[in-house]
Structure formats: structure tokens, C-alpha cells
């Protein structure tokens, strides 16, 4: 079993705190509106399959109902490490900054899974269950490995 170095563990903890704060913001602006929270898989109304390919996420857009709990089954069919980061624009920006500050711009960096993040190796599948807010909003899923966010970005429309 691989263990994390203390510095990486501390940074992962800080990222988690920043991301959870961004996900749960009460600010109603589009960049910081609530994106929802981790959900209970037993309460999920459905499973949405998301495939990571060499060209991006498939599907690139998903629709959910207000308050719906969905389990995402995310499969990495690309040959390199990717992430599935759920959150609003503030969450994505905070995570991108943290990855840049840690020096992931020099190559891939495998961080631990957190409440709203799954790090998915090539050929691997992981699930994440999410409960969406009871208001119309947009939630983003993205990957922030080197140069990923330019094409690895999808949108969940909460209606």
C-alpha cells in the first residue's frame, strides 16, 4: 500500500477544506452558488455513466432535477491519470490553484479521493454519489491534471 508524504497529506487536507467551503457557499452568484454535497448511494435515484476519453468527458453535459441524488460511475478509458472534480466555478478555480501551487504543472499528481473528487487511473472506474441543490444552477465536473481543464470539463444542469 502506498502512503502519502506528510506535505502532500497536509496539502490534500487544505484542498478538501477549500473545496468544501466553495461547494457549500451561500452566495447566489453563478461562480459560487451551492453545487450540492456528497450523497448517500442508497438514496440515489439513478446512476449516470461518465467516460473519460482522449478527447474529454462523455457525455459533456448532464441534466438532473433539483434536490436529486445521483451516483456517477466514472471510467477512465484514456491512457493517463484524470480526475472527476465536482463543484462550482469557485471550487474548480480553488482546486486548479492548489494543484498549480503544488507543482503539478510539471506532470501528473495523484491526490487522494475526497468528498467531491475522484482521481482515476487509466482503465479504472470509480463512483461518487452527489445530492444536488434545491435550486436551478450549473455544476461543473473537471480534471486538473496538466493541461486537462481545457478539454476535460463538463456541465451538470440542475433544473
List the domain boundaries for the chain.
Answer: 6-158
Assign domain 6-158 to its CATH architecture. Answer: Sandwich (2.60)
Give the global pTM: 0.79
**In this predicted model, which residue has the larger pLDDT, 38 or 12?**
38
pLDDT band at 2 (very low <50, low <70, confident <90, very high): very low
| Model confidence pLDDT, tens digit, residues 97-147 | 887 777 655 455 677 899 999 999 999 999 999 999 999 999 999 998 877
Report the candidate in 114, 104, 117, 110 with the shortest Cα–Cα distance to residue 147. Answer: 104
User: What residues have CB less than 8 Å from 69, skipping those under 6 apart?
Assistant: 39, 40, 43, 44, 45, 129, 130, 131, 132
User: What residues have CB less than 8 Å from 150, skipping those under 6 apart?
Assistant: none
Share of the chain above pLDDT 70, in %: 74
**In this predicted model, which residue has the larger pLDDT, 9 or 65?**
65
Mean pLDDT of 5-34: 48
Asked if residue 69 has pLDDT above 70, the reply is yes
How would you class 141 by CB atoms within 10 Å of its CB: exposed for 0-12, middle for 13-18, buried for 19 or more?
A: buried
State the pLDDT at residue 33: 63
State the pLDDT at residue 37: 96
User: What residues have CB less than 8 Å from 1, skipping those under 6 apart?
Assistant: none
Q: How many residues does the chain have?
A: 159
Amino acid at each position: 500500500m502506498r502512503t502519502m508524504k506528510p506535505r502532500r497529506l497536509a496539502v490534500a487536507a487544505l484542498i478538501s477544506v477549500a473545496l468544501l467551503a466553495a461547494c457549500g457557499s451561500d452566495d447566489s452568484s453563478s461562480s459560487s452558488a451551492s453545487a450540492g454535497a456528497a450523497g448517500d448511494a442508497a438514496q440515489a435515484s439513478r446512476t449516470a455513466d461518465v467516460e473519460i476519453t482522449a478527447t474529454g468527458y462523455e457525455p459533456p453535459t448532464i441534466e438532473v432535477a433539483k434536490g436529486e441524488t445521483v451516483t456517477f460511475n466514472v471510467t477512465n478509458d484514456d491512457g493517463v491519470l484524470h480526475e472527476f472534480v465536482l463543484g462550482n466555478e469557485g471550487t474548480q478555480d480553488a482546486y486548479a490553484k492548489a494543484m498549480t501551487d503544488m507543482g503539478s504543472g510539471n506532470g501528473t499528481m495523484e491526490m487522494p479521493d475526497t468528498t467531491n473528487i475522484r482521481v482515476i487511473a487509466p482503465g479504472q472506474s470509480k463512483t461518487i454519489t452527489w445530492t444536488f441543490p434545491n435550486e436551478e444552477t450549473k455544476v461543473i465536473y473537471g480534471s486538473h491534471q496538466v493541461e486537462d481543464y481545457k478539454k476535460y470539463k463538463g456541465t451538470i444542469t440542475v433544473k
